[in-house]
Amino acid sequence: MKDLVHISSSDSGLQLLEPMRQGGQEPPAPKFRLQKLLMFLRKFWWIPVLTLTLSLGVAVVVFLRSPPIFYSVGSLWETEKLRLPDGAAFTEDRERDLGTQEDVLRSKVLRDLTLAQMRASDSNSIVTDENGDPLSVQIEVSSTPKSSVYVIQSSSANPAFTPNYLNALMEQYLEYRKNIRSRVSSGTLASISEQVQRLERDMKLGQEALNEYERSNNLTVLVEESSQEASYLAKLKTELSDYQLEYKLLAAKALEENSPANNSSKDTVFDSLNNSESARSAVAERQGADKEIQLLKLDRDRLAKNLRPNHPKMIKLNQDIARSERLIEVYHQQSQEQIDASREALQIKIDSLLQAVKDWEEKIGAVNERIAVADGLKQNVLRNQGLYDRLTALLQNVDISRNIDQETLSILEPATPAKRSYTQAKTMLTQAFIIGLGLGLGIIFLITLRDDRFNTLAEVNERFGDTVVGQVPDMPELSQLGPLVLLHDNDDRHMFAESYRNLRSALLYLTVDGKRPRVLLITSAVPNEGKSTIATNLTRAMALGGAKVLLIDGDLRKGHIHDRLGVPSKPGLHELLRQQVSPESIIQKTDLLNLSFIARGNICRNPGDLFLQPVFDTLLTKFRENFDYVVIDCSPVFAADDSSSLAPKVDGTLFIVRSRFTHTRAVREALEILFQRQARILGLILNRADSTSSGYYAYKYAEYYAENTQADVVGEKI
């Protein structure tokens, strides 16, 4: 459902409730409040008591109608365990063994063995159920930490059968474990023996293969040959590496000979690497020719400073230089030829060494392969021998352990005499208590969630925004003495009186379109929300403040304000609207000087028709001229259409909501009806607010209220 109202601010600062336009957002979901839940717990305390009583009653009936359960307790303990080497002893995980023992003790196999033993010992020891089957027995196994004792508990419906079954069960369990261990030991012994025999055959075949291989291959000679061949191969690879390096140097020298940037220093480096006599001689001759050319060029440069180029000495020097350069050219040509010849010789050596290295590598690989085969045969023999030795030792230990009783459990205490068990009853009662209490609290919780009635001012603001103009506290301690006394001068009910003064102040400074609302309508959604009481006390608070106020009982169907004021009920508004009397004749005085009152008059079945006549508008105009405030108490919106007919004619409407009584849905629908009639809603008044709650702060400080004083009433006209 769309939110029906929202707050709008006029230019005058007044906040009025107006209908929300189409497309408005949904109102926020109300918050869950613990205070409200506690209130419902106080109110509906009998619901959890009832559900708790019913659930406990059902549990008691079920317990009384159920057959009794008897239990018996026995114990097993784990004795010292014989430890044999190489895994001959059985080992167990204690934590896992506890669960295993419980499962085995509950198994059908062990139950059948137990029942068979009981039949063999005594044919009358087995108790049957109503179907003729052996009585069912529940088995539980427990163990305390760091203890070697297992406690076994049996439970059944027969007190004699329970301990007998438990004793037979423990005996059969020990025998069953012993038989299982024996079968396991026998199977293990057979398996190990079979593996030992297979290893013996494998060892024999492996040794024969090794011997045959050693006879056909002299391993000592093969190892020596492999070592020598490996050394020779390393020597060949070293020589091959030297030749390859020399070949690279010759190739570099060939490039230098063909390069114009050739110099004697590089020749010297290369020729120094060549150990031949001819190479050293050629180097010496080339170095001498180079030096001679350098000396001749120096002489020519020195003589060129004083002699002409055609001078015989200059010509002679040029001829000598040319001859020396031709000689160097010859040397270069010879050097190139020598390099080419050396490269060809080195290439032949390199090719020969590469082939030799390849041949020797193949030969060494074949020898190593034969040695590896022999090593593999030896490793196989050694591996089989190791496995054979271990299995032989294990076979001996298993054979010994098979003949030794390794059972580690024995009966510590036989089954105790059966006792009646109340565990099931306690569990059932506990569950019934939890279910009954939870069901009752759950019902109250659902009631709390589904209840949309107002309880506090915060809830009203949460659903309708900040629209509350005042709140009137509940006075339960005074209402027990009878109807609340109307507000009067020097009223010692300070919280009650101050709440109405606060409401009076709110109306004093309230303006609509720049004007103070003077004609007010007070209504509510449904009856019994306290609107008549609030209307009466509010007008009395205004009159005590000095304002001239007229209170009109506009509920022409069931109005009863005249009873509270102690004045006649007629003639009144009904007769005035029918123009049977004059206004002056029906206005009654009250015990307050400034408060006048118009009673309802005779009961009318159709007052809405009278409110719509022009005479009512004329009366309102006249009342507005003669009084400061006119307050009309009218019937609830959902009781009759009177309020919706009156609301558009007044300056503003105050809407009453009662704490712990008024439903949010009713308020929204009632306000929507008033909005459709263009009524101006000034705000909500929360009636009978819980003044004892922690969230109520207004006027709770009685020490600020004067006692035993005669207050002067200052009649300031509002």
Looking at residue 291, its amino acid is K
Give a yes or no: residue 192 inside a domain. Answer: no
Residues 275 and 346 both lie in one domain: yes
Give a yes or no: residue 191 inside a domain. Answer: no
Q: Could you read off the pLDDT of 202-212 as tens digits, one per residue?
A: 878 877 777 77
Tokens of 106: 């509950």
Give a yes or no: residue 3 inside a domain. Answer: no
Which of 154, 180, 156 is CA-nearest to residue 169? 154
Is residue 82's pLDDT more than 80? no
User: Based on the number of CB atoms within 10 Å of its own CB, is 54 exposed (0-12), middle (13-18) or buried (19 or more)?
Assistant: middle
C-beta of residue 491 within 8 angstroms of C-beta of residue 497: yes
Which of 258, 274, 270 is CA-nearest to residue 345? 274
Residues 445 and 489 both lie in one domain: no
Q: Could you read off the pLDDT of 207-255 as tens digits, one per residue?
A: 777 777 777 777 677 777 778 778 877 888 888 788 778 778 777 766 7
Is residue 621's pLDDT more than 80? yes
Q: How far is CA 332 from the centre of its chain?
A: 92
- The CATH number of the domain holding residue 329 is 1.10.287
Q: How far apart are CA 261 and CA 270, in angstroms?
A: 15
Give a yes or no: residue 176 inside a domain. Answer: no
The single-letter DSSP state of residue 67 is: P
- The CATH number of the domain holding residue 579 is 3.40.50.300
Q: Could you read off the pLDDT of 564-592 as tens digits, one per residue?
A: 888 888 888 888 888 888 888 889 998 88
Mean pLDDT of 379-384: 82
C-beta of residue 443 within 8 angstroms of C-beta of residue 55: no
Residues 345 and 438 both lie in one domain: no
Give a yes or no: residue 90 inside a domain. Answer: no
Residues 358 and 230 both lie in one domain: yes
User: Hey, which of 277-281, 478-482, 536-540, 684-688 has the most confident mean pLDDT?
Assistant: 536-540
Q: Pick the more confident residue, 256 or 394.
A: 394
Which of 629, 613, 625, 654 is CA-nearest to residue 522? 654
**Cα→Cα distances 715→498, 537, 546, Å:** 17, 17, 4
For position 210, what pLDDT does the model report? 75
C-beta of residue 172 within 8 angstroms of C-beta of residue 195: no
- For residue 157, the number of C-alpha atoms closer than 13 Å in the C-beta half-sphere is 10
What is the pTM (predicted TM-score) of this model?
A: 0.50
Is residue 433's pLDDT more than 80? yes
Give a yes or no: residue 627 inside a domain. Answer: yes
Count of domains observed in the chain: 3
Q: How far is CA 157 from the centre of its chain?
A: 48
Tokens of 663: 């439903």
Residues 6+ away with beta carbon under 8 Å from 676: 19, 644
Tokens of 694: 């922690």
For position 673, what pLDDT does the model report? 87
Residues β-bridged to residue 519: 630
Q: Parallel, antiparallel, or unpaired: how do β-strands 69-78 and 409-413 relate?
A: antiparallel
Q: Could you read off the pLDDT of 301-351 as tens digits, one per residue?
A: 887 777 777 888 788 778 777 777 777 777 677 677 777 777 788 788 788
User: Hey, which of 280-284, 466-470, 474-478 has the most confident mean pLDDT?
Assistant: 466-470
Confidence of residue 44 (pLDDT cuts 50, 70, 90): confident
For position 32, what pLDDT does the model report? 57
Q: How far apart are CA 165 and CA 162, in angstroms?
A: 5
Mean pLDDT of 258-276: 48
Mean pLDDT of 478-506: 76
Q: Pick the more confident residue, 67 or 82.
A: 67
Q: Could you read off the pLDDT of 107-155 as tens digits, one per residue?
A: 888 888 888 888 887 756 788 877 888 888 888 888 877 777 888 888 8
DSSP characters for 89-157? S----HHHHHHHHHHHHHSHHHHHHHHHHHHHH-TT---B-TTSSBPP-EEEEE--TT--EEEEEEEES
Is residue 373's pLDDT more than 50? yes
Mean pLDDT of 487-495: 78
For position 710, what pLDDT does the model report? 41
Q: Could you read off the pLDDT of 643-688 as tens digits, one per residue?
A: 888 888 898 899 998 887 888 888 888 888 888 888 888 888 888 8
Mean pLDDT of 437-455: 81
Residues 325 and 438 both lie in one domain: no
Residues 480 and 563 both lie in one domain: yes
For position 502, what pLDDT does the model report? 85
For position 549, what pLDDT does the model report? 92
Question: If you search the block for the tokens 């279910």, which residue do you land on?
Answer: 435
Q: Pick the more confident residue, 294 or 692.
A: 294
Give a yes or no: residue 374 inside a domain. Answer: yes
Give a yes or no: residue 480 inside a domain. Answer: yes
Residues 535 and 653 both lie in one domain: yes
Q: Which range of residues forms the domain containing residue 595? A: 462-701
Per residue in 395-430, is it b (16+ CB within 10 Å) or e — as a string? bebbeebbeeebebbebbeebeebeebeeebeebbe
* Total Cβ atoms within 10 A of residue 517: 21
Residues 585 and 466 both lie in one domain: yes
Residues 272 and 316 both lie in one domain: yes
Q: Parallel, antiparallel, or unpaired: how do β-strands 549-553 and 629-633 relate?
A: parallel
User: Based on the number of CB atoms within 10 Å of its own CB, is 586 exposed (0-12), middle (13-18) or buried (19 or more)?
Assistant: buried
Which of 481, 466, 343, 427 is CA-nearest to residue 17? 466
Mean pLDDT of 595-615: 85
Confidence of residue 702 (pLDDT cuts 50, 70, 90): low
| Portion of the chain with pLDDT greater than 70, in percent | 78
Residues 440 and 468 both lie in one domain: no
Residues 672 and 570 both lie in one domain: yes
Q: How far apart are CA 391 and CA 397, in angstroms?
A: 10
Is residue 630's pLDDT more than 90? yes
- What's the mean per-residue pLDDT of the chain? 77
For position 411, what pLDDT does the model report? 84
Residues 522 and 392 both lie in one domain: no
C-beta of residue 181 within 8 angstroms of C-beta of residue 88: no
